[in-house]
C-alpha cells in the first residue's frame, strides 16, 4: 500500500465533506443540531434523565449516521472502482482511505457534540480525561458504521437505494442502542446491536465507573464486533460491490 496515494485519497475524501452540502450537513451540522435539540428536549429531571445521561446517546446517534454517508459514497464511486485496474490506485488503498477519513469524521463529530454539550452544562464525573478516552473508543465503533455502509452499498444499485437500505441498520441502533427506554424483552434485542455497547461504555465512563469490569467488557465487544463487521464489509464489497 502506497502511503502517498493513501494520504492523497484521505485528503480527497475529507474535501468532499466541504464540497457536498448533503455530506456537510449530515456529518457536521446534523450532530450539532441533534445536540442542541436533544439537550433541551430530553435533559429534563422530570423525565428521569440528566444532561450527562443524554450525551452518550447523542454520540451514538451522530456516528451511526455514517452508515448512510458511507453507503452513498461507495455506491457513487462504483464506476471509479471499475477503472482501478487502469490507475496506480488499488481497491485496498481506496477502501482504507474511506475507513480513515470516516474515523476522522467520527472524532470531529464527537468534538462538536462535546463542545456544545459542555456549553449547555455537560460535566462528566470522569472530567476531561473521560472525554479524551471517549475519542478512540468512538473511532473504533465508527469501524462498524463503515462496515455496515460497505455492506449496504454492495447490495445497492445506486446511491438513492443505498440511502434507503442504510436505515435497515440505522433504525435498530437508534431505538435499541441509545437512551431510549428498554424493557426486559427489548434489552435482549439491544444486546445484539453494536451501538448498545458504545452507549453503555460511554455512560459508565462519564459516570466515573470506567474502572469496573462491565466497561472493559463493552470495549471488548465494540472492538471485536467493529473489526469483524468492517472485514465482512470489505470482503463483500471487493467481491461484489464494484461489479
CA separation for the pair 236, 67 (Å, rounded)? 16
User: Is residue 147 within 8 Å of 66, Cβ to Cβ?
Assistant: no
pLDDT at 226 over 80: yes
Q: Which of 165, 218, 156 is nearest to 193 (CA)?
A: 218
The string of pLDDT tens digits covering residues 92-135 is: 777 788 788 888 888 888 888 888 888 888 888 888 888 889 98
Tell me, what's the pLDDT at 47? 56
Average pLDDT over residues 155-183: 83
Going by C-alpha positions, the residue among 202, 203, 29, 17 that lies closest to residue 112 is: 29
The HSE-up count of residue 3 (CA atoms within 13 Å, CB side) is 0
Nearest-5° Cα angle at 60, 171 to 21:
80
More confident residue, 12 or 172: 172
The pLDDT value recorded for residue 224 is 95
User: Residue 217 has what pLDDT?
Assistant: 94
Query: How many Å apart are CA 198 and CA 175, to the nearest integer?
Result: 14
Whole-number percent of the chain with pLDDT over 90:
12
Measured CA to CA, the distance from residue 84 to residue 171 in angstroms comes to 34
72 CB-near residues (< 8 Å, 6+ apart)? 153, 159, 162, 163, 166
- Calpha distance 173→57 (Å, rounded): 10
What average pLDDT does this structure show over 216-226? 94
Confidence of residue 179 (pLDDT cuts 50, 70, 90): low
Mean pLDDT value across residues 49-78: 81
pTM score, whole prediction? 0.84
Q: What torsion do the CA atoms of 195, 198, 204, 207 make, to the nearest 10 degrees? A: -90
Residue 83's pLDDT is what?
Answer: 58
Task: Write down the pLDDT at residue 227.
Answer: 92
Which tens digit of pLDDT belongs to each residue from 139-150? Answer: 899 999 989 988
Measured distance between the N- and C-terminal CA atoms of the chain, rounded to whole angstroms: 23
- Average pLDDT, stretch 67-81? 76
The arithmetic mean of pLDDT across residues 67-94, rounded, is 70
Confidence tier at 229 by pLDDT (50, 70, 90): very high
Residue 153: pLDDT band by 50, 70, 90 thresholds?
confident
Mean pLDDT value of segment 11-32: 73
The Cα–Cα gap between 173 and 63 comes to: 10
Average pLDDT, the chain: 81
Which runs of consecutive H residues, i.e. helices, occur in the chain?
Answer: 3-19, 21-24, 30-42, 51-64, 66-76, 78-82, 91-119, 127-154, 159-176, 184-190, 194-206, 213-236
Out of 156-160, 203-207, 231-235, pick the least confident. 156-160
pLDDT band at 222 (very low <50, low <70, confident <90, very high): very high
* CA–CA distance, 98 with 70 (Å, rounded to integer): 8
Amino acid at each position: 500500500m502506497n502511503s502517498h496515494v493513501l494520504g492523497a485519497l484521505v485528503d480527497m475524501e475529507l474535501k468532499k465533506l466541504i464540497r457536498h452540502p448533503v455530506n456537510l450537513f449530515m456529518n457536521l451540522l446534523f450532530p450539532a443540531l441533534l445536540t442542541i435539540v436533544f439537550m433541551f428536549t430530553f435533559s429534563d429531571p422530570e423525565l428521569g434523565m440528566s444532561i450527562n445521561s443524554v450525551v452518550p446517546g447523542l454520540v451514538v446517534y451522530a456516528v451511526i449516521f455514517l452508515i448512510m454517508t458511507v453507503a452513498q459514497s461507495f455506491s457513487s464511486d462504483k464506476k471509479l472502482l471499475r477503472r482501478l485496474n487502469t490507475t496506480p490506485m488499488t481497491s485496498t488503498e481506496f477502501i482504507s482511505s474511506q475507513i480513515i477519513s470516516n474515523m476522522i469524521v467520527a472524532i470531529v463529530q464527537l468534538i462538536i457534540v462535546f463542545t456544545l454539550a459542555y456549553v449547555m452544562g455537560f460535566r462528566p464525573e470522569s472530567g476531561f480525561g473521560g472525554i479524551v478516552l471517549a475519542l478512540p473508543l468512538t473511532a473504533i465503533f465508527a469501524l462498524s458504521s463503515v462496515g455496515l455502509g460497505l455492506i449496504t452499498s454492495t447490495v445497492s444499485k445506486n446511491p438513492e437505494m443505498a440511502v434507503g437500505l442504510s436505515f435497515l441498520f440505522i433504525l435498530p441502533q437508534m431505538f435499541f442502542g441509545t437512551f431510549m427506554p428498554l424493557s426486559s424483552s427489548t434489552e435482549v434485542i439491544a444486546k445484539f446491536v453494536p451501538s448498545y455497547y458504545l452507549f453503555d461504555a460511554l455512560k459508565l465512563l462519564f459516570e466515573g465507573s470506567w474502572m469496573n469490569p462491565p466497561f472493559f467488557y463493552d470495549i471488548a465487544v465494540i472492538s471485536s464486533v467493529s473489526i469483524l463487521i468492517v472485514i465482512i464489509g470489505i470482503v463483500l464489497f471487493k467481491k461484489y460491490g464494484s461489479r
